[in-house]
Amino acid sequence: MFEWIGEAAETVRRIGTPGFPAALADALRAVAPFDYTVVFGYVGSNPPMDLYDDFPASKRQVFVQDYQAGPYVLDPFFLAATKPVAPGLYRMRDVAPDRFYQGEYFRSYYVQTGLAEEIGYFIEIPGTGMVVVSLMRSDRTFSAKEYRHLTAVWPMVEVMCQRHWADFAHKIGAEAPPQGSVRGKVDRAFHAFGEGLLTPREREVVEHTLKGHSADAVGAILGISPGTVRIHRRNIYAKLRINSQGELFSKFIAGIV
């Protein structure tokens, strides 16, 4: 933690310069080591903006380009940022649905990243949107002690990021979001899926299933029994002429790309 003080001072000096994000990553690595950093900005109806990343070229396709092409709409961090959740540090598992790690987003996309854990600082940029600074590990999860230390530096991280990215949307050319505009885009994607084939209730089942909710959780959200959820899933598969969640995921992503 003593190293953090010196690294944080250097990070403060770099606010407003191109070197700030890398300096921030170095400062956070002085608190707890990790493999990769990515900073996404969420604003308006735009796909996530890659404000910074330190991925090698071999990883960037999966982590950034593939993600921005469509899977982001099922990402727990994206969904949390656009609710939005209260600012702070979160583990992925703390904001993910109950069956996220058995869900199709995880199996079809996220598993390709090879990550053991991803945690993120959610920083609200007043009047603009949300910036999420993700710290990623490939070999092991963050220990409780490491997480406590990373939480302890949150106030400084928040202030520095708010200053550096205060007008990130305008610099990139995006407009500040009307309230709920991102959520509206996601909702429209689900509501349009299977149009003419699926009932509104079946589309709701598709939405919550693809987000990673179990039959029990979907039933609780929609006020129906888990058995009814399973019947809806069978009917959805039959109407779409598919046999698996993998095919359901592929059809949904193909419809929004």
Specify if 49 maps to a domain: yes
123 & 198 share domain: no
| CA 68/CA 109 separation, integer angstroms | 12
User: What one-character DSSP code corresponds to residue 199?
Assistant: -
157 & 215 share domain: no
Tokens found for residue 231: 């019947």
Q: Given a cut of 60, is residue 176 above it in pLDDT?
A: no
Domain stop point among 122, 143, 172 = 172
Q: What is the mean pLDDT of residues 189-205?
A: 87
User: What one-character DSSP code corresponds to residue 113?
Assistant: G
Tell me the Ramachandran region of residue 196: left when phi exceeds 0, alpha when psi lies from -120 to 50, beta otherwise: left
208 & 149 share domain: no
Residue with tokens 């899926």, as numbered in its chain: 193
Q: Given a cut of 60, is residue 174 above it in pLDDT?
A: no
Read off the pLDDT of residues 109-156 as tens digits, 9 standing for 90 and up.
Answer: 888 899 999 999 999 998 888 999 999 999 999 999 999 999 999 999
Read off the pLDDT of residues 37-72 as tens digits, 9 standing for 90 and up.
Answer: 999 998 865 678 999 999 999 899 999 988 888 888
CA nearest to 219, candidates 115, 99, 111: 99
User: What pLDDT was estimated at residue 196?
Assistant: 85
Alpha-carbon distances, residue 12 vs 77, 87, 128, 134, 144 (angstroms): 26, 20, 22, 19, 27
Does residue 150 or residue 75 have the better pLDDT? 150
CB 219 within 8 A of CB 225: yes
CB 20 within 8 A of CB 164: yes
Specify if 99 maps to a domain: yes
Specify if 10 maps to a domain: yes
206 & 165 share domain: no
CB 154 within 8 A of CB 121: yes
User: What pLDDT was estimated at residue 99?
Assistant: 82
200 & 159 share domain: no
42 & 126 share domain: yes
153 & 216 share domain: no
153 & 251 share domain: no
Q: Calculate Rg over the CA atoms of the chain.
A: 19
User: What pLDDT was estimated at residue 45?
Assistant: 59
User: What pLDDT was estimated at residue 47?
Assistant: 79
Total count of domains within the chain: 2
User: What pLDDT was estimated at residue 172?
Assistant: 60
Specify if 102 maps to a domain: yes
* C-alpha angle 199-202-205 in degrees, rounded to nearest 5: 155
CB count within 10 Å of CB 107 equals 14
Instruction: Say which CATH number the domain at 114 has.
Output: 3.30.450.80
119 & 78 share domain: yes
pTM above 0.75, yes or no: yes
CA-based torsion, 102, 137, 183, 223: positive or negative: positive
The domain containing residue 244 runs over which residues? Answer: 193-256
Domain stop point among 141, 172, 203 = 172
User: What pLDDT was estimated at residue 250?
Assistant: 82
166 & 51 share domain: yes
Specify if 89 maps to a domain: yes
